[in-house]
């Protein structure tokens, strides 16, 4: 039996900002189908390229950005997901600081912008399902792995880390238990410097010990923060 199936990639790039919360990068389509609708950056994989190369190329071509870390999320292959032909999409997701990027709409993208995940516009294709799957994966992942340290400043008060996790999880956390577990891992270095935030006492600054974290991760350590 002859197959007529194409392979595509789509990227769910989450952005985190202390004030704006969690957002996702979307492009406005310039061509049919779903012309003028918002969608995830992505497109067909070229014959000579890998999946990873394809998703990085699409982000450059449609949004003008280079995201260093992307992780495969899931494969979406419903026969009716693309009205033109049968397309299987390999989706990726990543987490970045929007202020680190200057967005530029290119190729078949008319516009590109960040949207808060609680205020998303109607999305083309099955991209709403892809985004929802990525949100679920992200919230599951951060309960056992310290995702997102790169979203904080190099030196930060512990309250910034708490706020990051509460925002990603979209729920309050037990602050005392969270700090106790994080501290017990040895992946934070407490510094002898402080920062003044508001009218309260100056807050002690911390720094992420990336080397210690990867040593534990390589040994298969389970970062079970919330049990």
The pLDDT, as a whole number, for residue 227 is: 61
The pLDDT, as a whole number, for residue 147 is: 77
The pLDDT, as a whole number, for residue 225 is: 66
**Helix (H) / strand (E) containing 126:** none
Let me know whether 34 and 121 are in one domain.
yes
**Which residues contact residue 48 at a Cβ distance below 8 angstroms, ignoring those fewer than 6 apart?**
none
Let me know whether 83 and 108 are in one domain.
yes
Give how many domains the chain has, as a whole number.
Answer: 2
Strands 5-17 and 86-96: parallel
Let me know whether 133 and 200 are in one domain.
no
User: Is 226 part of a structural domain of the chain?
Assistant: no
The one-digit pLDDT tens for each residue of the chain (227 residues) are: 788 899 999 999 999 988 889 999 999 999 999 999 999 999 999 999 999 999 999 999 999 999 988 999 999 999 999 999 999 999 999 999 999 999 999 998 999 999 999 999 999 999 999 999 999 999 988 887 777 777 888 899 999 999 998 998 888 888 888 888 888 888 899 999 998 877 778 899 999 998 888 888 777 777 776 66
Let me know whether 133 and 183 are in one domain.
no
Q: Could you give the 3-state DSSP secondary structure of residue 142?
A: coil
Let me know whether 196 and 99 are in one domain.
no
User: Is 33 part of a structural domain of the chain?
Assistant: yes
Let me know whether 180 and 205 are in one domain.
yes
User: Among 89, 109, 141, where does a domain finish?
Assistant: 141
**Structure pTM?**
0.90
- Containing domain of residue 48, as a range? 5-141
The CATH number for 129's domain is: 3.90.79.10
């Amino acid at each position: 039996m002859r197959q007529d199936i194409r392979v595509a990639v789509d990227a769910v790039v989450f952005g985190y900002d202390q004030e704006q919360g969690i957002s996702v990068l979307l492009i406005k389509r310039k061509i049919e189908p779903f012309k003028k609708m918002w969608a995830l950056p992505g497109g067909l994989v070229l014959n000579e390229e890998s999946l990873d190369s394809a998703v990085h190329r699409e982000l450059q071509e449609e949004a003008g950005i280079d995201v260093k870390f992307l992780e495969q999320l899931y494969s979406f292959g419903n026969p009716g997901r693309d009205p033109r032909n049968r397309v299987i999409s390999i989706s990726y997701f990543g987490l970045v600081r929007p202020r680190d990027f200057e967005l530029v709409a290119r190729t078949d993208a008319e516009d590109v912008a960040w949207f808060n995940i609680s205020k998303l516009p109607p999305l083309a294709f099955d991209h709403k399902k892809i985004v929802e799957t990525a949100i679920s994966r992200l919230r599951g992942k951060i309960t056992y792995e310290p995702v997102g340290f790169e979203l904080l400043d190099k030196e930060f008060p512990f309250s910034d880390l708490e706020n990051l996790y509460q925002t990603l999880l979209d729920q309050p956390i037990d602050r005392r238990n969270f700090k106790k577990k994080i501290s017990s891992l040895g992946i934070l270095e407490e510094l002898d410097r402080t920062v003044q935030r508001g009218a309260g006492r100056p807050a002690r600054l911390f720094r992420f010990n990336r080397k210690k974290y990867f040593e534990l991760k390589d040994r298969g350590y389970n970062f079970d923060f919330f049990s």
